[in-house]
Structure 1
Amino acid sequence: MTDEAETTGDEESAEGEPTADEATDGEPTADEATDDGYEYDADGIRAGLDADFAVEYHETLGSSNDRAKTLAAEGAPETVVVADEQTAPRGREGREWSSPAGGVWVSLLVWPDAEPAATPLYTLATAVAITEACREAGVRARIKWPNDVLVGTDGDRGGAKLCGVLTESGQTDGSGTDESSRDDDTAQSGDRWLVIGIGLNANVDPAALPAEADATSLRAERGADVDRRRLLQTVLDRFDELRGDPDAVLPAWREYADTLDRRVRVETPGGTVVGEAVDVRFPGSLVVRTDDGDEVVVTAGDCEHLRPIGN
């Protein structure tokens, strides 16, 4: 399958990528046509989208995050990069991820107004938006700190993984050369960008995903495919609302959190923290009350849900 791109908006594509005029129509999945006649492609996604994002659609792409970072280096406007299939996706800390056709594989380029210290709020806002969109689709999704979206209670994570979020940040002078790029939630001042990658298992068979991922999909949970176009529009519009109201992010995250009031183990750069997750604080830090009664504020780490003591 060749890489065919469609764009809406005024941005120019990077050298070697097809421009909006050169792009072919792209053949979305046949079952993606909705009652209003729109397809899961650039024009279809933009139609009815309230948030002011350009949209770039690819049938096949190596990594939507890499493409979005190329756009950031060029100083492109805020853009949603959508791929029906990714051939070289990755998760946090370089972990492998699988992105077969039928998922919602998206990277969102944004130019944040907030200070770098507030960057984690964007990631948490994304997790909230995804969770609400999945619930509108009939799947009771919840959030494991900081941004995994889960379903159910089984598995090593305390549920089957439905979606992951990878946020990368950096700054650029608009000349096509990045000054920095990192996969944590820090950035330098200046022309600072964020690329928020979303890997949502929508209309895919969980058997097509790595066994170690302990993953599920909307198709598996609903027993039917979901309208990816409307699902993505819901995510983007809700994210846009939340980033415009930062004070609403943490309360919304708490509402859907599966981690709070649970016993957890968090592997952090400074060591292992074990105890009860009691709160999340600005800009997204997890507060863990240890068995000694101390409260430890965790800013980054891998969180595992544990069984209560005595169970």
Structure 2
Amino acid sequence: MNIIRFERINSTQDYAKEHISSFTEPTIIIAKEQTEGKGRYGRRFLSPEGGLYLSFVIELDFPSLNIVAPLGIAESLSRIGIETKILWPNDIIYKGKKIGGVIIERIDKKIIIGIGINCNNRIDDFDEYLRENITTIYEIKKEKIDIEELGISIVEQILYLMKDYEFLKDLYERRMEGIGKKVKIIKDDGEEIKGIIKGINENGELILRNNDNKSIVVISAKKLILPD
């Protein structure tokens, strides 16, 4: 597996997209800091030094990447003693606070999995308006970790989980935040839906039960809001 390292870059995800045709083998792009980190829908992802900022490029036809990618992160964090939950569709949370996230993009036959984890950062490294809703590995463990080692572990775990396809849905739901709770979904077009989370289907799409006791399948959404 090829690894490309940067001290500082605008965005590992942008770099991966710009050089997509040059990757002839699975490739990890990792940076110590991003100046223009990207989240879903082009949102800014604050990326100060001390975090894991990684994009993994692979030529692959796998139907459930939106299940296996966040699950790979959660399982890898569990190995270092941090038990997290997956907040559908792409956030990794610890005791209600965001510790990381994932973005998946497809270009031709290649997949780019973008991963961001708050690792050795202190809360003060982040803008004040974010501090109440986020946490970091350092804040939890009170010790620093090898960031690249974690990144490689996550990629290896994602690849490993692809071999256990039939168990992915159950594994995901065990780590899923909000099952059995009434939530509000803000869809891509701004429409709001309320319902109780039942789980996900085999494609990683969210299943809600509405007030009429009917199942609703949500393919994608901008935001999932849990009850207070």
TM-score in same-fold range (> 0.5): yes
Matched, 1:298 2:226: no
TM-score of the superposed pair, with normalisation by structure 2:
0.92
Alignment of 1:158-169 (within 5 A): 159-169=96-106
Which deviates the most, 270-279 or 142-151? 270-279
Name the amino acid aligned to 2:105: E
| Counterpart secondary structure, 1:292 | coil
- Match of residue 203 from structure 2: 283
Matched, 1:201 2:103: no
- Match of residue 136 from structure 1: 79
Identity over the aligned pairs, expressed in percent? Answer: 23
| Counterpart secondary structure, 2:121 | coil
- Match of residue 235 from structure 1: 154
Once residues 56 and 150 of structure 2 are traced to their aligned partners in structure 1, the CA distance between those partners, rounded to angstroms, is 15
Once residues 169 and 59 of structure 1 are traced to their aligned partners in structure 2, the CA distance between those partners, rounded to angstroms, is 26
Taking a change above 3 Å as real, the CA distance of residues 212 and 286 of structure 1, as seen in their structure-2 partners, is farther
TM-score of the superposed pair, with normalisation by structure 1:
0.69
Return the match for 2:30 from 82, 90, 96: 82
Measured after TM superposition, the shift of residue 207 of structure 1 is 2.1
Measured after TM superposition, the shift of residue 197 of structure 1 is 0.5
Measured after TM superposition, the shift of residue 265 of structure 1 is 0.7
Q: What is the alpha-carbon root mean square deviation over aligned residues? A: 1.5
Once residues 129 and 158 of structure 2 are traced to their aligned partners in structure 1, the CA distance between those partners, rounded to angstroms, is 29
Cα offsets for 1:243-275 (capped at 9, x unmatched)? 233223212111211122121111113621111
- Match of residue 50 from structure 1: none
For structure 2, list consecutive stretches of 5 or more residues without a partner in the other structure. Answer: none
Measured after TM superposition, the shift of residue 212 of structure 1 is 4.1
Once residues 38 and 177 of structure 2 are traced to their aligned partners in structure 1, the CA distance between those partners, rounded to angstroms, is 24
Once residues 223 and 263 of structure 1 are traced to their aligned partners in structure 2, the CA distance between those partners, rounded to angstroms, is 34
Contact 1:209 1:215 in 2 (8 A): no
Contact 1:78 1:109 in 2 (8 A): yes
> Number of paired residues?
224
Give the structure with higher Rg (CA).
Answer: 1
Contact 1:123 1:196 in 2 (8 A): no
Matched, 1:95 2:12: no
Measured after TM superposition, the shift of residue 94 of structure 1 is 1.4
| Counterpart secondary structure, 1:243 | helix
Once residues 269 and 104 of structure 1 are traced to their aligned partners in structure 2, the CA distance between those partners, rounded to angstroms, is 27
Contact 2:52 2:148 in 1 (8 A): no
Measured after TM superposition, the shift of residue 71 of structure 1 is 2.9
Once residues 88 and 135 of structure 1 are traced to their aligned partners in structure 2, the CA distance between those partners, rounded to angstroms, is 29
For structure 1, list consecutive stretches of 5 or more residues without a partner in the other structure. Answer: 1-52, 153-158, 172-191
Contact 1:69 1:109 in 2 (8 A): no
Alignment of 1:228-267 (within 5 A): 228-267=147-186
| Counterpart secondary structure, 1:61 | coil
Matched, 1:59 2:7: yes
